[in-house]
Protein backbone atom coordinates (compact mmCIF):
# COMPACT_ATOMS: atom_id res chain seq x y z
CA UNK A 1 0.00 0.00 0.00
CA UNK A 2 1.54 3.32 -1.08
CA UNK A 3 1.32 6.37 1.17
CA UNK A 4 2.11 10.05 0.75
CA UNK A 5 3.34 11.95 3.80
CA UNK A 6 3.32 15.75 3.47
CA UNK A 7 5.65 17.58 5.81
CA UNK A 8 4.80 21.29 5.98
CA UNK A 9 8.28 22.69 6.52
CA UNK A 10 7.29 26.09 5.18
CA UNK A 11 3.55 25.72 4.77
CA UNK A 12 1.13 24.21 2.26
CA UNK A 13 -0.76 25.54 -0.74
CA UNK A 14 -2.33 23.96 -3.79
CA UNK A 15 0.66 24.62 -6.02
CA UNK A 16 3.14 23.53 -3.31
CA UNK A 17 1.33 20.21 -2.99
CA UNK A 18 1.39 19.76 -6.74
CA UNK A 19 5.04 20.79 -7.01
CA UNK A 20 6.08 18.32 -4.31
CA UNK A 21 4.29 15.45 -6.06
CA UNK A 22 5.89 16.34 -9.39
CA UNK A 23 9.28 16.55 -7.68
CA UNK A 24 8.58 13.12 -6.17
CA UNK A 25 8.06 11.59 -9.62
CA UNK A 26 4.54 12.34 -10.89
CA UNK A 27 4.72 12.47 -14.69
CA UNK A 28 4.10 16.07 -15.81
CA UNK A 29 3.02 15.12 -19.34
CA UNK A 30 0.39 12.69 -18.08
CA UNK A 31 -0.72 15.21 -15.46
CA UNK A 32 -1.22 17.95 -18.05
CA UNK A 33 -2.96 15.54 -20.41
CA UNK A 34 -5.54 14.83 -17.71
CA UNK A 35 -5.96 18.49 -16.73
CA UNK A 36 -6.55 19.56 -20.32
CA UNK A 37 -9.78 17.54 -20.26
CA UNK A 38 -11.19 19.98 -17.70
CA UNK A 39 -13.54 22.40 -19.52
CA UNK A 40 -11.75 25.65 -18.58
CA UNK A 41 -9.71 27.62 -21.10
CA UNK A 42 -6.96 30.19 -21.21
CA UNK A 43 -4.49 28.70 -18.78
CA UNK A 44 -0.85 27.83 -19.10
CA UNK A 45 1.73 26.73 -16.56
CA UNK A 46 5.26 27.28 -15.44
CA UNK A 47 7.57 24.73 -13.89
CA UNK A 48 11.11 25.42 -12.77
CA UNK A 49 13.72 24.42 -10.23
CA UNK A 50 14.28 26.90 -7.42
CA UNK A 51 16.28 26.96 -4.19
CA UNK A 52 14.59 27.98 -0.95
CA UNK A 53 16.99 28.56 1.94
CA UNK A 54 19.34 25.97 0.52
CA UNK A 55 16.68 23.37 -0.40
CA UNK A 56 16.20 22.62 -4.11
CA UNK A 57 12.53 22.31 -4.98
CA UNK A 58 10.07 22.31 -7.88
CA UNK A 59 7.99 25.44 -8.35
CA UNK A 60 4.89 24.59 -10.38
CA UNK A 61 2.09 27.03 -10.97
CA UNK A 62 -0.80 27.72 -13.30
CA UNK A 63 -1.03 31.05 -15.11
CA UNK A 64 -4.52 32.37 -15.85
CA UNK A 65 -4.72 35.88 -17.31
CA UNK A 66 -7.09 38.04 -15.25
CA UNK A 67 -6.97 35.74 -12.22
CA UNK A 68 -4.24 36.51 -9.71
CA UNK A 69 -4.62 33.83 -7.09
CA UNK A 70 -1.11 34.13 -5.69
CA UNK A 71 -0.96 34.95 -2.02
CA UNK A 72 -4.06 37.16 -2.40
CA UNK A 73 -1.73 40.04 -3.33
CA UNK A 74 -4.35 41.67 -5.55
CA UNK A 75 -7.55 40.36 -4.04
CA UNK A 76 -9.48 43.42 -5.19
CA UNK A 77 -8.80 42.47 -8.81
CA UNK A 78 -10.98 39.36 -8.59
CA UNK A 79 -14.02 40.24 -10.61
CA UNK A 80 -16.03 37.07 -10.27
CA UNK A 81 -16.48 33.83 -8.42
CA UNK A 82 -18.21 30.50 -8.84
CA UNK A 83 -20.85 28.65 -6.88
CA UNK A 84 -20.27 25.08 -5.74
CA UNK A 85 -22.60 23.71 -8.43
CA UNK A 86 -20.55 25.45 -11.14
CA UNK A 87 -17.27 24.06 -9.82
CA UNK A 88 -18.69 20.54 -9.50
CA UNK A 89 -20.13 20.78 -13.02
CA UNK A 90 -16.69 21.70 -14.36
CA UNK A 91 -15.10 18.74 -12.56
CA UNK A 92 -17.94 16.41 -13.59
CA UNK A 93 -17.59 17.25 -17.28
CA UNK A 94 -13.85 16.59 -17.26
CA UNK A 95 -12.10 13.50 -18.56
CA UNK A 96 -10.61 12.69 -15.17
CA UNK A 97 -11.05 9.14 -13.88
CA UNK A 98 -14.05 8.46 -11.61
CA UNK A 99 -11.71 8.19 -8.61
CA UNK A 100 -10.02 11.49 -9.43
CA UNK A 101 -13.34 13.26 -9.92
CA UNK A 102 -14.65 11.82 -6.66
CA UNK A 103 -11.63 13.08 -4.72
CA UNK A 104 -11.79 16.54 -6.29
CA UNK A 105 -15.54 16.75 -5.68
CA UNK A 106 -15.13 15.76 -2.04
CA UNK A 107 -12.48 18.46 -1.54
CA UNK A 108 -14.75 21.19 -2.92
CA UNK A 109 -17.73 19.98 -0.89
CA UNK A 110 -15.54 20.08 2.23
CA UNK A 111 -14.49 23.61 1.30
CA UNK A 112 -18.07 24.74 0.66
CA UNK A 113 -19.16 23.35 4.03
CA UNK A 114 -16.39 25.33 5.75
CA UNK A 115 -17.30 28.54 3.90
CA UNK A 116 -20.98 28.02 4.70
CA UNK A 117 -20.21 27.61 8.41
CA UNK A 118 -18.19 30.84 8.42
CA UNK A 119 -20.77 32.90 6.51
CA UNK A 120 -23.85 31.46 8.19
CA UNK A 121 -25.41 30.07 5.03
CA UNK A 122 -25.66 26.82 3.09
CA UNK A 123 -23.02 25.17 0.91
CA UNK A 124 -25.06 25.55 -2.29
CA UNK A 125 -25.24 29.33 -1.82
CA UNK A 126 -21.53 29.85 -1.23
CA UNK A 127 -19.84 32.06 -3.82
CA UNK A 128 -16.20 30.99 -4.16
CA UNK A 129 -13.75 33.77 -4.92
CA UNK A 130 -10.03 32.95 -4.64
CA UNK A 131 -10.64 29.21 -4.39
CA UNK A 132 -13.15 29.27 -7.26
CA UNK A 133 -10.58 30.64 -9.67
CA UNK A 134 -9.37 28.48 -12.55
CA UNK A 135 -5.92 27.97 -11.06
CA UNK A 136 -7.42 26.76 -7.76
CA UNK A 137 -9.67 24.31 -9.63
CA UNK A 138 -6.59 23.05 -11.47
CA UNK A 139 -4.59 22.82 -8.22
CA UNK A 140 -7.24 20.59 -6.61
CA UNK A 141 -7.72 18.40 -9.68
CA UNK A 142 -3.95 18.30 -10.29
CA UNK A 143 -3.25 17.06 -6.77
CA UNK A 144 -5.82 14.28 -7.21
CA UNK A 145 -4.34 13.26 -10.58
CA UNK A 146 -0.74 13.36 -9.29
CA UNK A 147 -1.61 11.17 -6.29
CA UNK A 148 -3.22 8.72 -8.70
CA UNK A 149 -0.15 8.73 -10.97
CA UNK A 150 2.02 7.89 -7.96
CA UNK A 151 -0.44 5.12 -6.98
CA UNK A 152 -0.98 6.65 -3.54
CA UNK A 153 -3.61 4.86 -1.46
CA UNK A 154 -3.48 6.91 1.75
CA UNK A 155 -2.47 10.49 2.51
CA UNK A 156 -0.86 11.70 5.74
CA UNK A 157 0.50 15.04 6.88
CA UNK A 158 2.36 16.81 9.69
CA UNK A 159 0.84 19.35 12.04
CA UNK A 160 -0.10 22.62 10.33
CA UNK A 161 2.20 25.65 10.79
CA UNK A 162 0.31 28.90 11.38
CA UNK A 163 1.80 32.27 10.47
CA UNK A 164 1.26 35.61 12.15
CA UNK A 165 -0.23 38.89 10.99
CA UNK A 166 -3.23 39.56 8.75
CA UNK A 167 -4.15 38.58 5.17
CA UNK A 168 -5.82 40.64 2.44
CA UNK A 169 -8.59 38.74 0.66
CA UNK A 170 -11.63 39.40 -1.55
CA UNK A 171 -13.80 40.79 1.24
CA UNK A 172 -11.10 42.69 3.12
CA UNK A 173 -8.40 42.07 5.69
CA UNK A 174 -8.64 38.93 7.80
CA UNK A 175 -6.76 37.40 10.71
CA UNK A 176 -4.22 34.67 9.99
CA UNK A 177 -5.38 32.03 9.23
CA UNK A 178 -8.53 33.32 7.49
CA UNK A 179 -11.89 32.07 8.84
CA UNK A 180 -12.49 29.39 6.18
CA UNK A 181 -8.95 28.04 6.58
CA UNK A 182 -9.35 27.99 10.36
CA UNK A 183 -12.61 26.06 9.98
CA UNK A 184 -10.93 23.52 7.68
CA UNK A 185 -8.16 23.04 10.25
CA UNK A 186 -10.57 22.57 13.14
CA UNK A 187 -9.65 19.36 14.95
CA UNK A 188 -6.20 19.17 13.34
CA UNK A 189 -2.98 19.90 15.26
CA UNK A 190 -1.47 23.34 14.58
CA UNK A 191 1.49 25.31 15.92
CA UNK A 192 2.80 28.87 15.86
CA UNK A 193 5.54 28.89 13.21
CA UNK A 194 6.86 32.31 14.33
CA UNK A 195 6.61 33.50 10.72
CA UNK A 196 4.92 36.66 9.44
CA UNK A 197 2.69 35.64 6.54
CA UNK A 198 0.20 33.07 5.32
CA UNK A 199 1.67 29.58 5.54
CA UNK A 200 -1.38 27.40 4.84
CA UNK A 201 -3.72 28.60 2.10
CA UNK A 202 -7.41 27.74 1.98
CA UNK A 203 -6.87 25.49 -1.05
CA UNK A 204 -4.01 23.64 0.64
CA UNK A 205 -6.05 23.26 3.84
CA UNK A 206 -9.06 21.92 1.91
CA UNK A 207 -7.02 19.30 0.05
CA UNK A 208 -5.32 18.01 3.19
CA UNK A 209 -8.42 18.26 5.39
CA UNK A 210 -10.35 16.00 3.01
CA UNK A 211 -7.64 13.50 2.10
CA UNK A 212 -5.85 13.08 5.45
CA UNK A 213 -7.61 10.94 8.03
CA UNK A 214 -5.14 11.51 10.89
CA UNK A 215 -3.37 14.89 10.57
CA UNK A 216 -0.25 15.20 12.70
CA UNK A 217 0.50 11.46 12.57
CA UNK A 218 3.59 10.30 10.72
CA UNK A 219 2.93 6.79 9.39
CA UNK A 220 5.31 3.86 9.52
CA UNK A 221 6.49 3.73 5.93
CA UNK A 222 9.49 3.18 3.68
CA UNK A 223 10.00 6.27 1.52
CA UNK A 224 10.84 5.39 -2.05
CA UNK A 225 10.93 8.95 -3.39
CA UNK A 226 11.00 12.38 -1.74
CA UNK A 227 9.98 15.60 -3.43
CA UNK A 228 9.93 19.28 -2.48
CA UNK A 229 7.36 21.77 -3.70
CA UNK A 230 8.18 25.47 -3.46
CA UNK A 231 5.91 28.35 -2.62
CA UNK A 232 6.19 32.00 -3.67
CA UNK A 233 7.15 33.40 -0.28
CA UNK A 234 10.52 33.90 1.37
CA UNK A 235 10.36 33.16 5.07
CA UNK A 236 13.10 32.61 7.64
CA UNK A 237 12.30 28.92 7.15
CA UNK A 238 12.40 27.28 3.69
CA UNK A 239 9.06 27.92 1.99
CA UNK A 240 8.78 24.31 0.84
CA UNK A 241 6.50 21.33 1.34
CA UNK A 242 8.13 17.89 1.46
CA UNK A 243 6.32 14.84 0.08
CA UNK A 244 7.56 11.36 0.96
CA UNK A 245 6.08 8.60 -1.19
CA UNK A 246 6.51 4.95 -0.32
CA UNK A 247 5.18 1.70 1.04
CA UNK A 248 3.03 1.97 4.12
CA UNK A 249 3.65 -0.52 6.91
CA UNK A 250 0.68 -2.81 7.64
CA UNK A 251 -0.11 -0.70 10.70
CA UNK A 252 1.11 2.45 12.38
CA UNK A 253 1.76 2.38 16.15
CA UNK A 254 0.80 5.67 17.76
CA UNK A 255 0.53 5.48 21.55
CA UNK A 256 0.21 3.13 24.52
CA UNK A 257 0.45 0.00 22.39
CA UNK A 258 -2.44 1.00 20.13
CA UNK A 259 -2.25 0.94 16.36
CA UNK A 260 -3.86 3.53 14.09
CA UNK A 261 -4.70 2.78 10.49
CA UNK A 262 -7.07 4.03 7.82
CA UNK A 263 -9.88 1.93 6.41
CA UNK A 264 -12.76 2.52 4.05
CA UNK A 265 -16.36 1.81 4.95
CA UNK A 266 -18.61 0.86 2.03
CA UNK A 267 -22.41 0.75 2.18
CA UNK A 268 -25.36 0.17 -0.10
CA UNK A 269 -29.12 0.12 0.52
CA UNK A 270 -30.79 -2.87 -1.18
CA UNK A 271 -34.58 -3.10 -1.38
CA UNK A 272 -35.29 -5.18 -4.47
CA UNK A 273 -33.27 -8.38 -4.18
CA UNK A 274 -34.02 -11.89 -3.04
CA UNK A 275 -32.51 -12.56 0.41
CA UNK A 276 -31.06 -15.80 -0.94
CA UNK A 277 -28.48 -13.84 -2.92
CA UNK A 278 -26.90 -12.21 0.12
CA UNK A 279 -24.95 -15.29 1.20
CA UNK A 280 -22.85 -15.32 -1.99
CA UNK A 281 -22.62 -11.52 -1.99
CA UNK A 282 -21.14 -11.55 1.52
CA UNK A 283 -18.77 -14.38 0.60
CA UNK A 284 -17.43 -12.67 -2.52
CA UNK A 285 -17.13 -9.28 -0.82
CA UNK A 286 -14.92 -10.90 1.80
CA UNK A 287 -12.95 -12.61 -0.94
CA UNK A 288 -12.38 -9.20 -2.58
CA UNK A 289 -10.44 -8.11 0.51
CA UNK A 290 -12.99 -6.83 3.02
CA UNK A 291 -12.10 -7.21 6.69
CA UNK A 292 -15.74 -7.68 7.63
CA UNK A 293 -19.22 -7.47 6.11
CA UNK A 294 -22.69 -7.09 7.59
CA UNK A 295 -26.39 -6.81 6.88
CA UNK A 296 -28.79 -4.61 8.83
CA UNK A 297 -32.49 -3.83 8.40
CA UNK A 298 -33.34 -0.25 7.44
CA UNK A 299 -36.45 1.66 6.45
CA UNK A 300 -36.29 3.74 3.30
CA UNK A 301 -38.65 6.29 1.73
CA UNK A 302 -42.37 5.52 1.78
CA UNK A 303 -41.67 3.19 4.75
CA UNK A 304 -40.14 0.65 2.40
CA UNK A 305 -38.14 -2.08 4.24
CA UNK A 306 -34.63 -2.67 2.93
CA UNK A 307 -31.26 -4.16 3.82
CA UNK A 308 -28.13 -2.11 4.54
CA UNK A 309 -25.19 -4.04 3.07
CA UNK A 310 -21.96 -2.81 4.67
CA UNK A 311 -18.28 -3.67 4.51
CA UNK A 312 -15.04 -2.43 6.04
CA UNK A 313 -11.91 -2.87 3.95
CA UNK A 314 -8.29 -1.78 3.52
CA UNK A 315 -7.98 1.40 1.48
CA UNK A 316 -6.05 -0.52 -1.18
CA UNK A 317 -9.02 -2.88 -1.68
CA UNK A 318 -11.68 -0.16 -1.91
CA UNK A 319 -12.37 -0.52 -5.63
CA UNK A 320 -12.30 -4.33 -5.59
CA UNK A 321 -14.74 -4.51 -2.67
CA UNK A 322 -17.06 -1.95 -4.27
CA UNK A 323 -17.01 -3.94 -7.51
CA UNK A 324 -17.96 -7.14 -5.67
CA UNK A 325 -20.86 -5.40 -3.92
CA UNK A 326 -22.11 -3.97 -7.22
CA UNK A 327 -21.72 -7.27 -9.07
CA UNK A 328 -23.41 -9.47 -6.46
CA UNK A 329 -26.34 -7.26 -5.47
CA UNK A 330 -29.00 -5.28 -7.30
CA UNK A 331 -27.75 -1.90 -6.08
CA UNK A 332 -26.59 0.68 -8.63
CA UNK A 333 -24.24 2.51 -6.29
CA UNK A 334 -21.95 1.99 -3.32
CA UNK A 335 -21.05 4.91 -1.07
CA UNK A 336 -17.60 5.03 0.50
CA UNK A 337 -16.03 6.97 3.34
CA UNK A 338 -12.59 6.88 4.94
CA UNK A 339 -12.34 6.33 8.67
CA UNK A 340 -9.58 5.93 11.23
CA UNK A 341 -9.54 3.00 13.60
CA UNK A 342 -7.49 2.09 16.64
CA UNK A 343 -6.64 -1.58 17.01
CA UNK A 344 -4.52 -3.78 19.20
CA UNK A 345 -1.48 -5.49 17.68
CA UNK A 346 -2.35 -9.15 17.43
CA UNK A 347 -0.54 -12.38 16.76
CA UNK A 348 -1.94 -15.64 15.43
CA UNK A 349 -0.19 -18.90 16.31
CA UNK A 350 -1.09 -22.58 15.89
CA UNK A 351 -1.43 -24.44 19.20
CA UNK A 352 -1.35 -28.23 19.56
CA UNK A 353 -4.50 -29.61 21.24
CA UNK A 354 -5.98 -33.12 21.66
CA UNK A 355 -8.16 -32.26 18.64
CA UNK A 356 -5.24 -31.22 16.46
CA UNK A 357 -3.72 -27.82 15.77
CA UNK A 358 -5.96 -24.83 16.50
CA UNK A 359 -5.11 -21.25 15.60
CA UNK A 360 -5.27 -18.76 18.46
CA UNK A 361 -5.23 -14.97 18.20
CA UNK A 362 -3.67 -13.05 21.08
CA UNK A 363 -3.57 -9.33 21.92
CA UNK A 364 -2.50 -7.34 24.98
CA UNK A 365 -3.76 -4.05 26.44
CA UNK A 366 -2.68 -2.47 29.73
CA UNK A 367 -0.83 -5.67 30.58
CA UNK A 368 -3.94 -7.83 30.18
CA UNK A 369 -3.63 -10.61 27.62
CA UNK A 370 -6.62 -11.58 25.50
CA UNK A 371 -6.96 -14.86 23.66
CA UNK A 372 -9.47 -15.82 20.96
CA UNK A 373 -9.84 -19.19 19.27
CA UNK A 374 -10.03 -19.16 15.49
CA UNK A 375 -13.73 -19.73 14.79
CA UNK A 376 -13.20 -21.73 11.59
CA UNK A 377 -10.92 -24.22 13.36
CA UNK A 378 -13.41 -24.79 16.19
CA UNK A 379 -16.28 -25.22 13.72
CA UNK A 380 -14.27 -27.75 11.72
CA UNK A 381 -13.53 -29.84 14.83
CA UNK A 382 -17.13 -29.63 16.06
CA UNK A 383 -18.36 -30.96 12.72
CA UNK A 384 -15.76 -33.72 12.61
CA UNK A 385 -16.62 -34.87 16.15
CA UNK A 386 -20.35 -34.27 15.91
CA UNK A 387 -20.18 -32.20 19.10
CA UNK A 388 -21.63 -28.77 20.02
CA UNK A 389 -19.43 -25.78 19.23
CA UNK A 390 -19.50 -24.53 22.85
CA UNK A 391 -18.33 -27.92 24.14
CA UNK A 392 -15.34 -28.07 21.77
CA UNK A 393 -14.38 -24.45 22.52
CA UNK A 394 -14.53 -25.10 26.27
CA UNK A 395 -12.37 -28.24 26.01
CA UNK A 396 -9.76 -26.39 23.95
CA UNK A 397 -9.69 -23.47 26.40
CA UNK A 398 -9.18 -25.91 29.27
CA UNK A 399 -6.30 -27.52 27.40
CA UNK A 400 -4.64 -24.15 26.78
CA UNK A 401 -5.11 -23.08 30.41
CA UNK A 402 -3.59 -26.35 31.69
CA UNK A 403 -0.61 -25.83 29.43
CA UNK A 404 0.21 -22.35 30.76
Looking at per-residue pLDDT, the higher value among 260 and 38 belongs to 38
pLDDT one-digit tens code per residue, 84-103? 888 899 999 999 998 899 89
b/e per residue, 159-179, with b = 16+ CB within 10 A?
Answer: bbbbbeeebbbbeeebebbbb
Percentage of the chain beyond pLDDT 70 is 91
C-alpha 291/C-alpha 355 separation (Å) is 28
If pLDDT is split at 50, 70 and 90, which confidence band does 78 have? very low
pLDDT tens digits, 328-381 = 999 999 999 988 888 887 788 888 888 888 888 888 887 788 888 888 889 999
Q: What is the predicted pLDDT for the residue at 83?
A: 82
Q: Determine the pLDDT at residue 1.
A: 65
Sequence-distant (≥ 6) Cβ neighbours of residue 87 within 8 angstroms: 108, 128, 132, 137
Contact assessment for residue 180 and residue 111, using Cβ atoms and an 8 Å cutoff:
yes
Per-residue pLDDT at 404 exceeds 70: no
Taking the CA atoms of 198, 201, 204 and 208 in sequence, report the sign of the dihedral they define: positive
Burial, 402: exposed, middle or buried (Cβ in 10 Å; 0-12, 13-18, 19+)?
Answer: exposed
pLDDT at position 79: 40
Distance CA 309, CA 159 (A): 36
pLDDT at 254: 55
Alpha helices by DSSP H, listed for 158-310, are 179-184, 202-211, 278-287
Taking each helix axis from N to C end, the angle separating 14-23 and 134-149, rounded to the nearest 10 degrees, works out to 30
Domain 258-343 has CATH 3.40.50.2020: no
Nearest in space to 177 (alpha carbons), one of 167, 189, 191, 188? 167
**Is pLDDT above 70 for 273?**
yes
The answer to whether the CB of 78 falls within 8 A of the CB of 130 is yes
Q: Parallel, antiparallel, or unpaired for β 240-248 and 252-255?
A: unpaired
Average pLDDT, integer, range 108-118: 86
Question: Residue 128: CB partners within 8 Å, gap ≥ 6?
Answer: 81, 82, 83, 84, 87, 111, 112, 115, 136
| pLDDT score, position 189 | 92
Domain ranges of the chain: 2-249, 258-343, 346-402
By mean pLDDT, which of 71-85, 86-100, 277-291, 297-311 is the weakest? 71-85
Least confident residue range of 16-30, 73-87, 147-161: 73-87
Number of H helices, E strands in the chain: 11, 20
Contacting residues for 65 by C-beta, under 8 A, at least 6 apart? 42
What pLDDT sits at residue 81?
A: 66
Give the model's confidence band at 129: pLDDT under 50 very low, under 70 low, under 90 confident, else very high: low
Query: How many beta carbons lie within 10 A of that of residue 86, not counting itself?
Result: 14
Cβ contact 188:215 at 8 Å: yes
**Mean pLDDT of the chain, nearest integer:** 87
Is pLDDT of 251 > 80?
no
pLDDT value of position 136: 82
Residue partners of 161: CB distance under 8 A and separation at least 6? 8, 10, 11, 190, 191, 193, 195, 199, 200
Amino acid sequence: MNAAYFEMIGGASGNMLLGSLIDAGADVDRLLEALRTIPVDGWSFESRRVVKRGIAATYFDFIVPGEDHHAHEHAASHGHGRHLAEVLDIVGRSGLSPEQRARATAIYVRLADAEAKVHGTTADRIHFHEVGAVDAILDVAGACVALDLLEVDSVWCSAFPIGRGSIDMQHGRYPNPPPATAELLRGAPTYDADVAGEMVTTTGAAILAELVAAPGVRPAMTAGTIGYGAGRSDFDVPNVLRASIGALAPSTPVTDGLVLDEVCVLEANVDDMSPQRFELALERTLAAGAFDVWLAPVTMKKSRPAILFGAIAPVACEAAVARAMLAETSTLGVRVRRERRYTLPRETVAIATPFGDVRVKTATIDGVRRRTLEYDDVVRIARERGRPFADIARRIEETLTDGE
